[in-house]
Structure 1
Amino acid sequence: MFSVVRYTNRGNYVISSGVTSNTFSGVSFIISKKLSDRILGFDSISDRIIKLKIDAHPYCINLIQVYAPTSDSTEEAITNFYLALAKVYVDIPNKEPTLVIGDFNAKIGKSSVDDHLKGIIGNHGLGDRNSRGQMLLDFCAENNISIMNTWFQQHPRRLYTWISPNGKYKNQIDYIMINRRWRSTILCSKTRPGADCGSDHQLLVATLKIRLKAQRKPQFNAIKVTRDALETFKDLIIPRLQQIDCDPFELPEATWSKLKATTLATAKEIKANQNPVPRAEWISAETWTAIMDRKKLKETGISSGPQHQEYRKLHHKVQNLCRRDINAHITNICNEIEKSSNTSNTKDLFDKVRTITRQFKPRNWSVEDAHGKVLIDKNEVLDVWRPDYQRRRLRKRGGAQSTAGKICDEAIGKDMEEQRH
């Protein structure tokens, strides 16, 4: 099993867990750049389960991403999956909000009158329940988890999460779940059938109302534009500012209001005309055209077999073109690195190397205790680290006991960082 943390061109981060022996399993998180400094740690459980902890207020948020065995798997495989998932879930404090999300390959169907399922499943499920769905419901009942897909009334096309290749069957097999104590924090859950994901699964989203810990940074009401749009802005703003009639006898506030109005109007005009979907620098015009064609086909709706076939052809074309472009982009950077090396241009050389090698390194406090259990809570990690830190301090002092009293956690934390590096 392996875990990978990599950096994307748009500033996001991908944390993956999987195995190298096959390509039929593996789970990942895509984390926005804004949330990168709130990640406390992650734990790659297996190629089907990964856990992430995010700093929030009043408690940390835990995310468990899963990919359950398919219908072709044995009963033993699905049983082992739920046992592993239960072990991960029960180790998390109940006071912390925990979301379990992913593809469970199970149909739970519409709501049941069973008393033990009240608060677990809502009134807006889809389809008929199968045996795997019953196993999922038993797991949720044992751990007091609510399946939030079924609690909000939506059109059926916003309930099903999977479409068969021929478009004949539509099922609800992906779920967003949360411990019942925090059920009221989910304001809405539905699929986005128009989202171009390049998959037979529909994008499933939820609105979660939990406050992240405040960052003490100044907030500005800025208008963000691309680099090309910024050059256009410069060409437009200069003649417009020159055309402003400024009376030397008027108040400074009046002159400032004219300058502000002209600048904001130009910036909003540029923002409205710029491409709303940013394009990575390595994507060629041919690839971008194929991506937009696939997106337009998805937005118009795919209801027939020929449309499904056309979408799959476009999807495979986009994948092949993207592989070609990224390989060409990396080859071009490597050629520039070689050229910079031959000309002894070290600054440009290291800049190019960083563009293809930089990785996101989360503030990972996680360690294993004596029993092999992964600890993420900071206080538990400090308790494990403290005896080792004390032994090394004694060795440095030649065996003499320290008279400084209790060792502060800041010193231990600093020592942890030094040992990691």
Structure 2
Amino acid sequence: MMISKRYRNALLLAKTYPSADCYSDHVPVVGKFKLKLKKNSKPFTNIKFDLAILKTNQTIREKYQISVQNKFEALGDAEEVEQQWENFNSAIMEAATEVIPKVKRKAKQKWMTEEILNLIEERRCAKGNKEKYEQIHKKVQEKWNMSKVNWINEKCKEKEQQRKHAPQTMYRNIEEFTGKRTFLSTGWKKSNTW
């Protein structure tokens, strides 16, 4: 029995039936498979709102309060708790989408620019077209490496200036540059008792 390499672990049992009368010179082969199907999941996008703006911006806070109040007044009294929760949740989410701005995407690495983020998004959209994907991927890698080298050079110059003028701050800021934290270790006292 020939089987694809991918499914070699899925084949549990294979039997031949040489005595089967099926008017053929071939011997029928029966196999037992254990196959797991991938769950078809719906893409869930969690919308992140910039809630910190409610503390800082008075006008947006007032607009949000008015919007939520209007949504609650428009709601009817539901008898079931589940229905009340759904109404409550939908009212707050609708008011938030109308008034509160979404959180801007933030780069994980400090050297990433908006241009690189846009190229990454463009690359993600071009997954179906292999040639275009590879072309954009090369651009992303070039920009990424160039940006990283520039960021490291800039930080090194900054550290040189700090070494000359403020060595204490230089050592405090090395953690940001290397990504490693230094911990003060306390000594261990060896006891003679076992």
Task: Give the counterpart letter for 1:288 in structure 2.
Answer: L
Distance 2:130 2:176 in 1: 37
SS at match of 1:153: coil
Displacement of 1:321 in angstroms is 0.9
Asked if residue 107 in structure 1 is aligned to residue 107 in structure 2, the reply is no
Is residue 295 from structure 1 mapped to residue 124 from structure 2 by the alignment? yes
Q: Check the 8 A contact 2:123/2:137 in 1, yes or no.
A: yes
2:107 pairs, out of 241, 259, 279, with 279
**Separation in structure 2 between the aligned mates of residue 312 and residue 323 of structure 1, nearest angstrom:** 16
Deviation of 1:335 after TM superposition, in Å, equals 1.6
Cα 1:122–1:352 shift into 2, 3 Å: farther
Other-structure match for 1:239: 59
Distance 1:267 1:319, change over 3 A: same
Letter in 2 for 1:107: K
Question: 2:49–2:103: 8 Å Cα contact kept in structure 1?
Answer: yes
Determine the C-alpha separation between the residues in 2 that align with 1:293 and 1:122. 41
1:324 paired residue number: 146
CA 112–267 in structure 1, closer or farther in 2 if over 3 Å, else same? closer
* Structure 1 position 235, deviation (Å): 4.2
For structure 2, which runs of at least 5 residues remain unmatched after alignment? Answer: 15-31, 67-90, 183-189
Query: SS in structure 1 opposite 2:11?
Result: coil
Q: CA deviation at 1:357?
A: 1.8
Give distance in 2, aligned partners of 1:268 and 1:335: 45
Pairing 1:185-264 to 2, within 5 Å after superposition: 230=52, 232-236=53-57, 238-239=58-59
RMSD: 4.3
Measured in 2, the distance between the counterparts of 1:351 and 1:295 equals 38
Deviation digits for residues 350-377 of structure 1 (CA, Å, limit 9, x no counterpart):
333111223389xxxxxxxxxxxxxxxx
Residues 256-313 of structure 1 deviation map (CA, whole Å, 9 limit, x = unaligned)? xxxxx99xx669954x6223x4323311222222111101112xxx2xxxx2111111
Report if the CA contact (8 A) 2:175-2:181 is conserved: no
For residues 51-102 of structure 1, the C-alpha deviation after alignment (integer angstroms, 9 at most, x for no partner) is xxxxxxxxxxxxxxxxxxxxxxxxxxxxxxxxxxxxxxxxxxxxxxxxxxxx
Verify the 8 A CA contact 1:297 1:311 in the aligned structure 2.
yes
How big is the shift at 1:113?
A: 4.1
* TM-score normalised to structure 2 length: 0.51
- Report the count of equivalent residues: 134
2:178 pairs, out of 350, 357, 361, with: 357
CA offsets per residue over residues 106-152 of structure 1, 9 Å max, x none?
Answer: 9242632428xxxxx9633xxxxxxxxxxxxxxxxxxxxxxxxxxx2
| Uncovered stretches (5+) of structure 1, i.e. residues with no partner | 1-105, 116-120, 125-151, 155-187, 195-222, 246-260, 362-391, 395-401, 408-421
Question: Secondary structure of 1:273's partner?
Answer: coil
CA 1:338–1:296: 2 relative to 1, 3 Å: same
Q: Name the structure where helix makes up a greater proportion of residues.
A: 2
Distance in 1 of aligned mates of 2:142 and 2:98: 37
Distance in 1 of aligned mates of 2:159 and 2:166: 10
- AA aligned opposite 2:7: G
* CA positional deviation for 1:319: 0.9
* TM-score (norm. length: structure 1): 0.26
For 2:99 and 2:173, how far apart are their aligned partners in 1?
34
Name the larger-Rg structure. 2
Secondary structure of the structure 1 residue equivalent to 2:161? helix
Does the CA-based 8 Å contact 2:111-2:147 persist in structure 1? Answer: yes
1:123 and 2:34 are equivalent in the alignment? yes
Query: Which residue pairs with 2:37 in the alignment?
Result: 153
Give structure 1 regions of 4+ aligned residues with deviation exceeding 4 angstroms. Answer: 223-226, 240-245, 265-269
